[in-house]
Amino acid sequence: MELITGILTTAVLAGGVLALAALGEVLAERVGVFNLGVEGLMALGGVTGIIAVTLYPNPFFGFVMALLVGLGFGALFALATVVFRANQVLCGLALTMLGSGLAVTIGKSYSGMPAKATFEKIIVPYLSDLPIVGRAFFSQNILVYLIYLIIPAVISFMLFRTRHGMNVRAVGENPAAADSAGIPVTLIRFCYVTIGAALGAGAGAYLTLAFVPSWSDGVVAGRGWIAVALVIFAGYRPFGAVFGALLFGVITAIGYVGQARNWPISPTFLSMLPYLGTMLAMILPVFLWRRLRLGFTAPAGLGVPFFRDER
């Protein structure tokens, strides 16, 4: 029992990073833009969070500053891919390089320094005393509740329960049809790509303010790419992304717990698990979702820039 609680506690905490980044990517891909810059955005968000709390020791301040930086770079990315209709893959890769490089340069003097303020645990009364899941799910920091419950619920409701959400999905599925129905395709794409990027940067701040908590070169460690893979695994659904992130958290935690419990498995193999998991997450949806007859396919307009005059 203690074993499961331990794994779940770490998994929830570790998975939060992936969940928030993947939620941002869901938004971008739902409107038809492939944002491969998540890795760079997370690095920028992470370093912003640390610098902000060093200047003013309040974790919320750090988190909000990271969101703002994410908005800024997201707007830049959206300007290139949505307004100027540049190649999304190349722009995404460029954003990753720019973000990672810039973060290392800016964060040089903050490297290794522990965060001056971190998100404190909030213990939910009664629920946190539940066996097994109590400590894992109901005594975490406030961002965990936000990431696992509130943000996906809001996105889910918006996408699938409102007229605006229908428009948003239409933009991702068939921008030409959406355009002729009078939906402002460019505006919607621009807004959601930017918001998605902000969430990506927020994931970086979560990493440095709630999880690690400190900044160093390479702290993101490929999580941005895992988040991109998760979105495909999750079938472009917010709660799917959150669930997938939790699953990844469990896989990562098992790597450490396995060693601590001295399982007769090579530690090299155990630390390989998250990456093996990513490969599975890429392969499984191809036949699994199809066989289960779930409509988890990519938005039809994903990756295609929209030119009104080429209709």
Partner 1 sequence: MIDFKNMDRRRFMGLAGMTAASSLILPQFGRPAFGATPLAAVKEEDAVIGFGHVGPISDEGWTWSHHQGLEAVKAAFPKAKYLEVENVPFSADCTRIYRQMVSDGANMIISTSNYGDLIYEVSDRATDVAFMECDGHRKADNLSYYYIQHWFPTYVAGVAAGLLSKTGKLGYVASFPVPAVFCGTNAFLMGARTVNPEATLQTVVINSWFDPQGAKQAGTALIDNGCDFLFGIMDEAAYLQVAQERGVWAAMWNTDIRRYGPDAYVTSIVLDWNQYYVDQVRKRLAGEWTGGEGTLLPMGKGIDRDAWGAKVPADVAAKADAVRDRILNDGFNPFVGEIKDVDGNVRVTAGETMTPEALYTWDWSIEGVSGLKV
Is the distance from CB of 62 to CB of 218 less than 8 angstroms? no
**Look-up: residue for tokens 């998540």?**
38
> Binding residue for partner 1 (CB under 8 A) from 2, 182, 287, 293?
2
The answer to the question of residue 88 lying near partner 1 (CB under 8 A) is: no
CA distances from 222 to 177, 266, 280 (A): 37, 22, 16
CB of 4 to partner 1, least distance (A): 10
| Residue 35 or 252 with smaller CB distance to partner 1 | 252
Strand partners, 134: none
Helices (H), ranges, the chain: 2-30, 38-55, 59-78, 88-106, 133-138, 142-145, 151-161, 163-173, 175-180, 185-206, 223-233, 238-260, 267-291
Tokens of 42: 């997370």
The answer to the question of residue 239 lying near partner 1 (CB under 8 A) is: no
The answer to the question of residue 252 lying near partner 1 (CB under 8 A) is: yes
CB of 43 to partner 1, least distance (A): 14
Q: Which stretch binds partner 1 (CB under 8 A): 25-33, 89-97, 253-261, 284-292?
A: 253-261
Q: Which stretch binds partner 1 (CB under 8 A): 52-60, 69-77, 138-146, 209-217?
A: 209-217
Strand partners, 8: none
The answer to the question of residue 209 lying near partner 1 (CB under 8 A) is: no
The answer to the question of residue 222 lying near partner 1 (CB under 8 A) is: no
The answer to the question of residue 216 lying near partner 1 (CB under 8 A) is: yes
Distance CA 287, CA 289 (A): 6
Binding site for partner 1 (CB under 8 A): 2-3, 5-6, 9-10, 14, 108-114, 207, 211-214, 216-217, 219, 221, 252-253, 256-257, 259-262, 266-268, 271
